[in-house]
Amino acid sequence: MAVALSCAAAAIASAADTRPASQGPPRLAPLPRVTSPRLYVIDCGTLTYNRPEDYQLTREEVADTNMSVPCYLVIHPQGILLFDTGLSDSLVGRPLWENVDGGYGQIRFTTLRGQLADIGVTPADITYLAISHWHWDHVGNANDYAGSIWLTQKAELDFMFGKHADPVHLPLYARLAHSRKEVFEGDHDVFGDGTVILKFTPGHTPGHQSLYVKLKHTGGVVLSGDLYHYAEERTLHRMPKEEETSGTPQSREAMERFLQQTGSQLWIGHSTSVFRNLVKSPGWYD
Ligand SMILES: [Zn+2]
């Protein structure tokens, strides 16, 4: 069920690198050319945290209460999608104590922008930006990608710029107000061929979405967003108390069915036990 408010077809950039060398910033790597989708897992920071009770888990039940913060880049023959923007690049080199937000200590060792450059991608090359949801650990660099077409659930857009928006964190993504947008309600097939689909998984926030990517060799992968935080939430059936009545149980049930039907893996972004074992950018999955 898609309600496109602006047509983006004309703006889709080719994944082929056709720009003359004299244009734009100097490149360290050529823009990759692909014939099937390629998925990069980018380290967008770490959160130190020691209060798993917020997720109705005890310290003893969780192997590691700290959280990884990934961003993901999908290079498709028809364009490039950035999914989530992580913790702010401005945190690189800053001490942990300077940046504790709600009990979460934020650590960044490398910038998103720099890791994209290592792949051969500049912000101007990115056709689409999508975020799983508006929380600060997912939109830390959103303003840098406001020139891309923003793919958003209507419910999330309405919340982000509505009267209940969080004034402390709104500046992190304020420039998206001026982005070209594709606004939809429900699942959204990004390139129209079924290989890259934003899955509507409300509950954590009103318009939360996960990302399904169908890869030629790896198979189906779902990037969770914050549908789950800890892997133990999935095995022990726990969630933040307030999400019990906000849609998360239904979204999780639907997702588990989808994973089974498609034989897909679920990669829980904030789970260090999952993140540790993934191939990181500039390596990739295809
Ligand atoms: Zn998060």
**pLDDT value, residue 28:** 73
pTM of the model: 0.91
Amino acid identity of residue 226, one-letter, is D
pLDDT greater than 70 at residue 48: yes
In whole angstroms, give the CA distance from residue 179 to residue 147. 6
Span 202-221, mean pLDDT?
A: 98
Rounded to the nearest whole angstrom, what is the distance from the C-alpha of residue 85 to the centroid of ligand 1? 11
Contact 65, 51 (CB under 8 A): yes
Rounded to the nearest whole angstrom, what is the distance from the C-alpha of residue 230 to the centroid of ligand 1? 11
Rounded to the nearest whole angstrom, what is the distance from the C-alpha of residue 64 to the centroid of ligand 1? 15
Ligand 1 ion local residues (Cβ < 5 A):
137, 226
Token pair in block for residue 98: 């300077």
How does pLDDT run across 34-46, given as a tens digit for each residue?
A: 999 999 999 999 9
Rounded to the nearest whole angstrom, what is the distance from the C-alpha of residue 25 to the centroid of ligand 1? 32
Rounded to the nearest whole angstrom, what is the distance from the C-alpha of residue 209 to the centroid of ligand 1? 12
How far are the Cα atoms of 216, 251, 258 from residue 254, in angstroms, in the given order? 24, 5, 6
The more confident residue out of 45 and 9 is: 45
- Give the alpha-carbon dihedral of 119, 46, 175, 19, to 10 degrees: 0
Rounded to the nearest whole angstrom, what is the distance from the C-alpha of residue 226 to the centroid of ligand 1? 5
Pick the range with the lowest mean pLDDT from 8-17, 36-45, 213-222.
8-17
**pLDDT value, residue 29:** 86
pLDDT greater than 80 at residue 231: yes
Rounded to the nearest whole angstrom, what is the distance from the C-alpha of residue 28 to the centroid of ligand 1? 31
Distance of CA 132 to the CA centre of its chain: 5
Span 255-259, mean pLDDT?
A: 98
Cα 100-275-141 angle, rounded to 5 deg: 50
How does pLDDT run across 93-105, given as a tens digit for each residue?
A: 999 999 999 999 9
Rounded to the nearest whole angstrom, what is the distance from the C-alpha of residue 20 to the centroid of ligand 1? 38
What are the two backbone dihedrals, phi and then psi, of residue 120, each rounded to the nearest 5 degrees? 110, 20
Q: What is the DSSP string of 46-61?
A: EEE---GGGGT--GGG
Rounded to the nearest whole angstrom, what is the distance from the C-alpha of residue 87 to the centroid of ligand 1? 10
In whole angstroms, give the CA distance from residue 280 to residue 39. 10
How far are the Cα atoms of 32, 92, 121, 211, 236 from residue 132, in angstroms, in the given order? 25, 23, 21, 8, 23
pLDDT greater than 50 at residue 7: no
In whole angstroms, give the CA distance from residue 56 to residue 254. 22
pLDDT greater than 90 at residue 13: no
In whole angstroms, give the CA distance from residue 26 to residue 126. 16
How does pLDDT run across 75-95, given as a tens digit for each residue?
A: 999 999 999 999 999 999 999
How does pLDDT run across 141-156, given as a tens digit for each residue?
A: 999 999 999 999 999 9
Rounded to the nearest whole angstrom, what is the distance from the C-alpha of residue 48 to the centroid of ligand 1? 12
pLDDT greater than 80 at residue 60: yes
Rounded to the nearest whole angstrom, what is the distance from the C-alpha of residue 70 to the centroid of ligand 1? 10
Percent of the chain having pLDDT more than 70? 91
In whole angstroms, give the CA distance from residue 5 to residue 106. 36
Rounded to the nearest whole angstrom, what is the distance from the C-alpha of residue 46 to the centroid of ligand 1? 11
pLDDT greater than 70 at residue 58: yes
Span 43-50, mean pLDDT?
A: 98
Span 205-212, mean pLDDT?
A: 98
Rounded to the nearest whole angstrom, what is the distance from the C-alpha of residue 195 to the centroid of ligand 1? 24
The more confident residue out of 187 and 16 is: 187
In whole angstroms, give the CA distance from residue 201 to residue 208. 5
**pLDDT value, residue 17:** 53
Rounded to the nearest whole angstrom, what is the distance from the C-alpha of residue 54 to the centroid of ligand 1? 13
Rounded to the nearest whole angstrom, what is the distance from the C-alpha of residue 244 to the centroid of ligand 1? 17
